[in-house]
Amino acid sequence: MTVIKDITNYIEKLAPLRYAEGFDNVGLLVGSYETPITGVLVTLDCLENVVDEAIDKSCNLIVAFHPIIFKGIKNLRPDDYVKRVIIKAIKNDIAIYATHTALDVAHGGVSYRMAQELGLQNLKTLAPKNNLIKKLTTYIPIEHFDQVQNTLFQSGAGHIGNYKECGFSVDGDGTFKGNELSNPQYGVSGIRSTEKEKQLHITYLPHLESKILKTLKESHPYEEVAYEIVTLENSYQKIGMGCVGEFPEELEIEDFISTLKSTFNHNAIRTSLSRKRTIKKVAVLGGSGAFAIQNAKSCGADAYVTADLKYHDFFQGQDILLCDIGHYESEQFTKNLLTEYLTEKFTNFAILCAQAQTNPVNYY
């Protein structure tokens, strides 16, 4: 029997909630993790018409990109669209889960899907997160070193980019003296002992920390395990906002704009007055992306495709073509991404892509 927690755990392999922005409200917003699944409806926004569609299609879990609950709620009177959605979902035993910025920063997430739809190649993260990677240092008796190191590798430590099982060790002497309550694996309580040890340095990502520390303590022979954890300033290429890639061949600017219009099904694209006449390297970022204009410039992009640019943002678009394709339009493929991802894993119930219209903006 598949329960909601099975679905959310699988989503969080792609987009761990640990990496969502601090202002965000992600995870299970309505319902219980232990509820058995009857069907899943994937949507960009969770509005009343989406809940109605879930009811009609016997789906008791809505997986949404944007969180319907974002600010504090002081009552559940049906006097705005947010509370009406929550009330209707609860009355009909429908759970709501949101991933939002956890999926924004995921490798293969929102912006990567934009780039793939455009046909870009050689994809990289536009604005990788800094101060993310953790480094564990611990001290292991030589005869137990291989066993402890291998179990840490198996728990996910030592994974750097395209490489796994990365670590560094130094031989040394460890000293310790247990009190009358100690039960040392080596030596005798009350007497200082010196043991040949290896100092192990190994990196890992924060969402794995509890698993890695549990593994360390279970596999290490010492009664008290000595270890240190520091956060590195290094950026991590596979977690961050936006994506940058290249077309196989240069496009004339008019052809590039036409490609944007057809790919994102939108004819109201706003652009800067750029001096660029050909486009090859393109940065993209789903949703509001003004904050990453400088990142797009720094990586040498000819164009930057995003949404919600303000009037004064466009003044930065002389040496780069800034393209505002609309918030909904930039994120529209997210529900396809999640539907495809879940369908690959779960086949014993329906996983449907919502048909309900949720774009709040009209164009004339």
**How many Cβ atoms are within 10 Å of 347's Cβ, its own excluded?**
8
Which residues make up each annotated binding site for a divalent metal cation? 66, 104, 327, 331
Reply yes or no on whether the pLDDT at 280 is more than 90. Answer: yes
The pLDDT tens digits of the residues spanning 330-340 come to: 999 999 999 99
HEC assignment per residue over 271-308: ECCCCCCEEEEEEEEEEECHHHHHHHHHCCCCEEEEEC
Which residues make up each annotated binding site? 66, 104, 327, 331
Amino acid sitting at position 21: E
**363 in any annotated domain:** no
Tally of structural domains, the chain: 3
The pLDDT tens digits of the residues spanning 10-59 come to: 999 999 999 999 999 999 999 999 999 999 999 999 999 999 999 999 99
Would you state the pLDDT for residue 46? 98
The pLDDT tens digits of the residues spanning 204-249 come to: 999 999 999 999 999 999 999 999 999 999 888 899 999 999 999 9
**364 in any annotated domain:** no
Same domain assignment for residues 46 and 188: no
Radius of gyration, CA atoms only, the chain: 25
CA dihedral 115, 117, 118, 120 (to 10 degrees): 50
The domain boundary, picked from 180, 200, 234, lies at: 234
Q: What is the CATH number of the domain that holds 184?
A: 3.30.70.120
Averaged pLDDT, 137-143:
95
- Token pair for 153: 């590798």
The domain boundary, picked from 234, 258, 292, lies at: 234
Reply yes or no on whether the pLDDT at 260 is more than 90. Answer: yes
Same domain assignment for residues 230 and 247: no
Q: What is the CATH number of the domain that holds 59?
A: 3.40.1390.30
Same domain assignment for residues 92 and 121: no
Domain that holds residue 44: 4-103+333-353
Would you state the pLDDT for residue 178? 87
- For residue 98, which of 21, 34, 37, 206 has the smallest C-alpha distance? 21
**362 in any annotated domain:** no
Q: How confident is the model at residue 71 (pLDDT cuts 50, 70, 90)?
A: confident
Would you state the pLDDT for residue 306? 98
Same domain assignment for residues 310 and 340: no
Same domain assignment for residues 150 and 94: no
The pLDDT tens digits of the residues spanning 182-207 come to: 888 888 888 898 999 999 999 999 99
Long-range pairs of 291-299 with CB within 8 A, sequence gap ≥ 24: 292/126, 292/127, 292/241, 292/242, 293/317, 293/320, 293/322, 295/126, 295/127, 295/242, 296/126, 296/242, 296/244, 296/320, 299/126, 299/244
What is the distance between the alpha carbons of residues 65 and 99, in angstroms, rounded to a whole number?
5
Same domain assignment for residues 138 and 230: yes
User: From start to end of the chain, where are the E strands?
Assistant: 27-30, 39-43, 61-64, 95-98, 121-129, 134-141, 168-176, 193-204, 227-231, 236-252, 270-271, 278-288, 303-307, 321-324, 350-353
- Token pair for 263: 């790919």
Same domain assignment for residues 124 and 95: no
Would you state the pLDDT for residue 88? 98
Q: How confident is the model at residue 285 (pLDDT cuts 50, 70, 90)?
A: very high
**360 in any annotated domain:** no
Question: For strand 193-204 and strand 321-324, is the pairing parallel, antiparallel, or unpaired?
Answer: unpaired
Same domain assignment for residues 166 and 182: yes
